[in-house]
Chains A and B, each alone.
Chain A
Amino acid sequence: MKITSRAVAGTLESNDVLVTVSPGAKGLEVAVDSIVLNQFEAQIRQAVTDTAREMGVQEARIELNDRGALECTIKARVETALRRAGEAAV
Chain B
Amino acid sequence: MRRSMLFVPGNSPGMLLSADIHQADAVILDLEDAVAPNQKDAARVLVRRALLGLPYRGVEIIIRINPLGSGFTRDDIFAMVPLKPKLLMPTKVSGPQDIHEISAMVAQAEQENGLEAGSVGLLPLLETAAGIENAYLIASCDPRVKAIFLGAEDLSSDLQAVRSLKGDEILYARGRVVVAARAAGVEVYDTPFTDVNDEEGLEKDAAFARALGFTGKAAISPRHIPAINAAFSPSQEEISYAMEVMAAIEEGQKQGRGAVSLRGKMIDKPIVDRARRVLDNAEALGLGGRT
Contact = CB atoms under 8 A, between A and B. Distances in A.
Partners in one complex: yes
Interface of A: 9-10, 13-16, 69-73, 75-77, 79-80, 83-84
Q: What 10 A-B pairs come out closest when comparing CB atoms?
A: A72-B53, A15-B14, A76-B49, A76-B46, A72-B49, A73-B13, A15-B13, A80-B42, A76-B45, A16-B13
Contacts of A9: 42
A77 B14 contact: no
Among B17, B45, B52, B53, find the residue whose CB has the most chain A CB atoms closer than 10 A: B45
A70 B13 contact: yes
Most buried by A among B12, B17, B49, B52: B49
B13 A84 contact: no
B265 to A, nearest CB: 56
A16 B45 contact: no
Contacts of B176: none
Given A15-B14, A15-B17, A16-B13, A75 B42 contact: no
B41 interface: yes
Interface in B211-235: none
B45 A14 contact: no
Interface string B1-31: 0000000000011100100000000000000
B45 A79 contact: yes
A76 B48 contact: yes
B50 interface: yes
A70 B42 contact: no
Interface of B: 12-14, 17, 41-42, 45-46, 48-50, 52-54
10 contacts: A9-B42, A13-B13, A15-B13, A70-B17, A72-B52, A77-B42, A77-B46, A79-B49, A80-B41, A80-B46
A14 B54 CA distance: 18
Given A9-B42, A10-B42, A77-B42, A71 B13 contact: no
A13 B48 CA distance: 20
Contacts of A70: 13, 17, 53-54
Given A70-B53, A72-B54, A14 B42 contact: no
Given A13-B14, A70-B17, A76 B50 contact: yes
A19 to B, nearest CB: 10
Contacts of B13: 13, 15-16, 69-70, 73, 76
A15 B17 CA distance: 9
A69 B54 CA distance: 13
B145 to A, nearest CB: 30
A16 B49 CA distance: 13
A71 B46 CA distance: 11
